[in-house]
Amino acid sequence: MSFDKATNRADFSTDALALVSQRRARLSELDKYVAVHPGLACGIIERLGLVTLNVINIRDPTRKTNIVCDFIDGEWQYVWAEDGRSLGPADDPMSVVGPIAAELGARLQPVRNRAQHL
């Protein structure tokens, strides 16, 4: 995970607060793309100073994940919070929506007739 995690805002330096702001801005951008996916719901949360994007499958809320944004090898990357695997560059949020949906088993298209799929 990143180098700027702290337990509360009082522990942050000015530079660390700037990083949190950049992280939140990038996660907000990803939030916009994930939110329009028909099978996903999401929201930004902050716990113990760490900002994450919480994403769930709307048809199966037990399928959920958290995405973070970290500065890795000189660039911002979207990363799976659970294991630190990289999802992709933060300058292309649209490119990571598909892998998030696939991981959560969300359909790429809305179900038009639920009776056909039950």
Q: Is the dihedral of CA 81, 84, 87, 91 positive or negative?
A: positive
Tokens of 95: 């490119």
Tokens of 66: 């958290």
pLDDT in tens, 45-96: 998 888 999 999 999 999 999 999 999 999 999 999 999 999 999 999 999 9
pLDDT in tens, 2-30: 444 444 445 555 555 556 688 999 999 99
- Higher per-residue confidence, 83 vs 117: 83
Q: What is the pLDDT of residue 47?
A: 81
Q: How far is CA 113 from CA 12, 106, 118, in A?
A: 51, 16, 9
Q: What is the pLDDT of residue 11?
A: 53
Q: What is the pLDDT of residue 114?
A: 41
